[in-house]
Chains A and B, each alone.
Chain A
């Protein structure tokens, strides 16, 4: 059998894939159509290896995580039952791999920003390599929602303005209730005696005696 092996090197990461050409799909001799194994070496970490499913699981968390990192959002990817997860921990990126073998504890690898970028470039290179003709799961990069972007602002800073505004409103309300309203002096009703009005002028042409 014609076994093929390709390698993608970066400073702190090396990804190797082994496979066979899929002649039934019309692939050439130098093209991997069936992935049989892969190995990933990260500096300061044990070598990882697995099948195609594991590699796809790794891609499924690393690509969305990097997408969020570009926008400055640190969001964990992968769930507890997922074979691979990555989360930000103390300024580094903690990659956790759960083995499918029973009684094998999960492997935790800490990556700095440069390691993450190297791993991402290896995966990018593999996906874009014409010599590996495998239909990888599609990675769609969408703009983040406004809510996700807001979460990168610390909670204290996010809540400071509304809390301050609410407090100011309460203080003003309390002051308004405590401070008495100025009372208007009401004039006592006086009995006014209407002065007797002079007789109405009966004849407008008569002479005014006051003149």
Chain B
């Protein structure tokens, strides 16, 4: 890991970013990918929110879950858009979680790892992510069915893991925010 310590994540003025529908879908899916990589991801996220100083925004697990339910692909979705402060907090939370899981992300993406070991790791991620999607997302939606389809799931999962690797740490916050604000093509 780097010898240099990162800048503190708590900042007084957070940039304002209100995500559109597609951005919110991606953000929640990336958080779900973090949970698929870390079996204790839900608890770790809650702990990370306290470390990052977001207790007022997400005082407990339910509040965090309610914010994530703004994803329209969720089984129990909430109407309206997520506020800018909460969006920024979720982005920073995701980058902090990706930073924590970076060694695992590196192993998954590296072409120098043994092929069979890499396949086993990807199979575990695939299974866990499928289970989480099936548990929490609305399976009647075409976008969710595409996430689960065998034709597309592998490339989508690799892109999600690559996104987490490139957004890991404090330096990735700006990149990830800009990416989530991309217009719908």
Contact = CB atoms under 8 A, between A and B. Distances in A.
Do A and B interact with each other, yes or no?
Answer: yes
A128 B163 contact: no
Given A71-B182, A72-B159, A117-B109, A125 B167 contact: no
Given A114-B109, A149-B183, A149-B185, A70 B2 contact: no
A146 B174 contact: no
Interface in A66-116: 66-67, 69-72, 92, 112-116
Interface stretch (A4-12, A170-178, A179-187, A202-210): A4-12
B171 A125 contact: yes
A27 interface: no
> What is the interface residue range for chain B against chain A?
35 or more
Interface string A7-28: 1111110000000000000000
B178 A117 contact: no
B127 to A, nearest CB: 22
A128 B110 contact: no
B2 A121 contact: yes
A117 B106 contact: yes
A35 interface: no
A141 interface: yes
B172 A124 contact: yes
Given A69-B166, A70-B167, A122 B181 contact: no
A71 B30 CA distance: 13
B168 interface: yes
A129 B5 CA distance: 7
A142 interface: yes
B166 A146 contact: no
A57 interface: no
Contact of B3 (A7, A12, A120, A141): A7
Contact of A70 (B106, B110, B175, B184): B175
B72 interface: no
A112 B7 CA distance: 28
A40 to B, nearest CB: 14
A127 interface: yes
A39 to B, nearest CB: 15
A117 B3 contact: no
B162 interface: yes
B81 to A, nearest CB: 16
B182 A129 contact: no
A63 to B, nearest CB: 8
B7 A128 contact: yes
Contacts of A145: 183
Interface string A131-155: 1000000010111111001101100
B10 to A, nearest CB: 15
B14 interface: no
Contact of B166 (A8, A9, A92, A117): A117
A129 B174 contact: no
Contact of A121 (B3, B171, B182): B171
Contacts of A143: 178-179, 181-183
9 contacts: A6-B3, A9-B1, A10-B1, A12-B106, A70-B179, A117-B165, A121-B102, A128-B171, A141-B178
3 residue pairs, one from A and one from B, having the closest CB atoms: A124-B171, A141-B178, A114-B110
